[in-house]
Amino acid sequence: MEKEIGELRKTPRKTDRVPVLTGAGISAEINLEKTPHTHLMDFSLLGKAGDIVPKVLEGWA
């Protein structure tokens, strides 16, 4: 999961990629399991949001 979080942190800084489905935004899913829409996401992190969100935000200021 650390690799995915690292990639998620770098993605908003990339200017060479504009996702069509998200209207120039980056979409991420945090969920306990895959959903029917997981394949539409730029990132999908599986687990509890209470565990994942603090790790994603750690050091992001």
Tens-digit pLDDT profile for residues 5-60: 777 777 655 545 555 555 567 788 999 999 999 998 888 999 999 999 898 888 77
Domain total for the chain?
Answer: 1
pTM > 0.85: yes or no? no
CA–CA separation, 36 vs 59, rounded Å?
32
Handedness of CA 20, 47, 10, 59 (dihedral sign): positive
pLDDT class for 61, splitting at 50, 70, 90?
low
For residue 35, the enclosing domain spans 2-57
What is residue 20's predicted lDDT score, i.e. its pLDDT?
55
Place of tokens 């730029």: 42
